[in-house]
Amino acid sequence: MMIMTRAKVEAYLAPFRGKPQRQVPFAAHACKWLLGQLDKPAVDVAKLFERTPPYDDAAEAATLGCMLLDPVAAMQAIQGVVGVDDFYVASNQLVYLAILGLYDGPGTVDMVLLHRFMTDAGTLKAAGGLDYLLEIVSSVPSAANVEQYAAIVQKMADRRGRISKAVEMLKQAYNGSSK
């Protein structure tokens, strides 16, 4: 196996400098192209797998805060827009599931009921405790912008989905498989 270095490519190209295009062999054109590629920054595919997927913690918290401030309006506004998997932060997923559980159960949602529901379910501590629930509620002044917050959450989830599909395609390409 021959290893090409910039010096070897430059040495190969030296006799063709200044000659008309038609007198330069294809290999020399390929070498010129190769030199151009060497100047470009390399994409480290492995690094793509190590990056944190896109998400917006503030938008997730604001969506949940709106759901606690005005559950009926918020649920109507985000119904069919946001699902549990659209939340990236695990604690936000737990809070969202608890809010849905309350909304589908007794039909009313507030901080006291949510706290009790999550305590009984054993998920309050994993979600960050009462302090995190209070932080979520205080993150928004009103539920008026719930649709915009939910749209941001959905947009981030869509981006994560596309990245996941692209990573899967890269893995298949590296493994030589196709689906």
Write the CATH number for 66.
1.10.860.10
- For residues 31 and 68, membership in a common domain is answered with no
Across 35-49, 53-67, 145-159, least confident range? 35-49
- For residues 67 and 31, membership in a common domain is answered with no
The pLDDT of 10-25, averaged and rounded, is 65
Q: When comparing pLDDT for 71 and 87, which is higher?
A: 87
Q: Which of 9-13, 128-132, 171-175 has the highest mean pLDDT?
A: 128-132
Tell me, what's the pLDDT at 146?
A: 92
Instruction: Round to whole Å and give the CA distance between 97 and 64.
Output: 10
Q: Where does the pLDDT of residue 134 fall: very low under 50, low under 70, confident under 90, or very high at 90 and above?
A: very high
Tell me, what's the pLDDT at 42?
A: 47
Whether residue 161 is contained in a domain is answered as: yes
Q: Where does the pLDDT of residue 104 fall: very low under 50, low under 70, confident under 90, or very high at 90 and above?
A: confident
Whether residue 144 is contained in a domain is answered as: yes
Whether residue 52 is contained in a domain is answered as: no
Tell me, what's the pLDDT at 135?
A: 96
Contact 60, 130 (CB under 8 A): no
Distance of CA 112 to the CA centre of its chain: 32
- For residues 61 and 26, membership in a common domain is answered with no
- For residues 116 and 30, membership in a common domain is answered with no
- For residues 115 and 155, membership in a common domain is answered with yes
List the helix and strand counts (H, then E) for the chain. 9, 0
Instruction: Round to whole Å and give the CA distance between 73 and 69.
Output: 9
Q: Provide the token pair at 26.
A: 């294809």
- For residues 138 and 104, membership in a common domain is answered with yes
Tell me, what's the pLDDT at 12?
A: 61
Contact 89, 128 (CB under 8 A): no
- For residues 68 and 139, membership in a common domain is answered with yes
Phi, psi dihedral angles at 126 (to 5 degrees): -65, -25
Q: How many domains does the chain have?
A: 2
- For residues 23 and 67, membership in a common domain is answered with no
- For residues 118 and 164, membership in a common domain is answered with yes
The single-letter code of the amino acid at 131 is D
- For residues 99 and 23, membership in a common domain is answered with no
Whether residue 29 is contained in a domain is answered as: yes
Whether residue 26 is contained in a domain is answered as: yes
Please give the model's pTM, rounded to 2 decimal places.
Answer: 0.71
Q: Looking at residue 82, what DSSP letter applies?
A: -
- For residues 37 and 93, membership in a common domain is answered with no
Contact 133, 36 (CB under 8 A): no
Tell me, what's the pLDDT at 74?
A: 78
Q: Which domain holds residue 19?
A: 6-42
Q: Provide the token pair at 137.
A: 């509620």
Contact 146, 73 (CB under 8 A): yes
Q: Where does the pLDDT of residue 47 fall: very low under 50, low under 70, confident under 90, or very high at 90 and above?
A: low
